[in-house]
Amino acid sequence: MTARGTRRELMYGGECRERRLRFLHGDEANVPDANVAGRTHDTAYFAQAKERPLVTRRSGGMPILLWFQDLPAAPALGLICCYYVGFGVMLTWLGRFVSKELRFPRCPPGLGPALGMIGTMASILIGLVIVALWNDYRVARATVSSEATEVRGAARDIQLMAPASRDLLLNDLRRYVVAVTNDEWPAMRHGTYATGAGRALARLALDANGARTDGFDLQARVGRIGELRTTRLSQTTTGVVAVLWFALLTIPVIMFAGLGLMNDESAGFHYIIVGLVAVATSIAIFVTIEIDLPYRGVVALSPAPIARAIDQAVTESTPDTQ
């Protein structure tokens, strides 16, 4: 939904108001019929919403991926290294044993091009995935920054209103920020959604709809906050499908099996080469896991910009008496 479309909905009542409430609250199943319009309908809806308990919903994501991202960086990287180094050592030992029993030649001439093709395939695949996920991570970081900017702008606009409306709307905005930082963010990190922030934002939209705003459009700004929140919630699911994870985890193992057939004359040198390739692969997979979900793991985004937005706006709006 574009900002222009949201602004158009905020300008009209009836069905458009109902669509806006559906969008902000994120709960279409419990919203009454859109044919009933007006503030009386809005009040009844929020009275009903207040009685509903806070619920959480599980977001998308592979359980093993979520488990890895809950680990500190060192244990997570260590486990991945153990996986690949273990497979590499085992397949190297097995390859040397099979080569010796079947009397394969040392370093067969056709093995090098085959390993090069497999290594190139794995490198291109992992590289493309990391580039795509890094772009998603940057978009998520920009979304958080934009949401904080809109919250700060809304707080500045509210400071210009009459005291009665100003206090009510500022409290509504604070409730939204508290719900985002204390409830919604931890839920996002654990792979769930919390609906408290959606209710707080819908309450703010209702009060902003009834407040008089001269010279600025507070309703449109609240709509943009809702858009950014929806975008942020959509970024809590993994960007790598299960089939792609299967390819990322198994192609390097196939490469280690090929390396095991090299049957180099020096066993120690052979194991060292396989170990180095395994560690390099582990680091690449570790980076992929960590940036896949931007609100979890070592590089998880922080809600601090949103949490500080209102106080920054209030401080900037306070005149300097010195």
Q: Which residue has the tokens 């180099």?
A: 264
Which alpha helices (H) appear in 103-217, and where do they start and end? 111-159, 163-179, 185-189, 196-210
Q: Report DSSP state, residue 319.
A: P
pLDDT of residue 319: 55
Q: How far is CA 16 from CA 134, 223, 228, in A?
A: 37, 12, 19
pTM of the model: 0.72
Q: Could you tell me if 261 and 98 are in contact, meaning their C-beta atoms sit under 8 angstroms apart?
A: yes
**What pLDDT, on the 0 to 100 scale, is given for residue 165?**
84
- Give the residue among 148, 166, 158 at the shortest CA–CA distance from 232: 148
pLDDT tens over the chain, length 322 residues: 444 444 334 333 444 444 444 444 444 334 333 333 333 334 443 444 443 334 444 444 556 666 777 778 888 889 999 989 998 999 999 988 988 888 888 877 888 888 889 889 999 999 999 999 999 999 999 999 999 999 999 999 888 888 878 889 999 999 999 999 999 998 888 777 788 899 999 999 898 887 766 667 788 889 999 999 999 998 888 778 888 888 988 898 898 888 888 877 888 999 999 999 999 999 999 999 888 888 888 888 999 999 999 888 878 766 544 4
Residue pair 158/246 in contact (Cβ under 8 Å)? The answer is no
Q: What is the pLDDT of residue 13?
A: 40
| Per-residue tokens: 252 | 């390097």
Q: Which amino acid is at 33?
A: D
List the structure tokens of 185.
């963010």
Residue 302 DSSP class = P
Instruction: Report residue 311 as tokens.
Output: 């106080």
What pLDDT shows up at residue 215? Answer: 63
Structure tokens at 321: 């008496």
| Contact status, residue 310 vs residue 174, Cβ threshold 8 Å | yes
| The pLDDT of residue 48 | 41
Q: What is the pLDDT at residue 31?
A: 38
Cα–Cα distance between 269 and 246 in angstroms, integer? Answer: 30
Please identify which residue in the block is written with the tokens 């009386």: 40
Measured CA to CA, the distance from residue 127 to residue 130 in angstroms comes to 5
231: nearest Cα among 140, 136, 148:
140
**pLDDT value of position 81:** 92
| pLDDT at residue 136, rounded to an integer | 92
Distance separating alpha carbons of residues 215 and 10, to the nearest angstrom: 16
Q: Is 14 helix (H, G, I), strand (E, B) or coil?
A: coil
- Report whether 194 contacts 53 (CB < 8 A): no
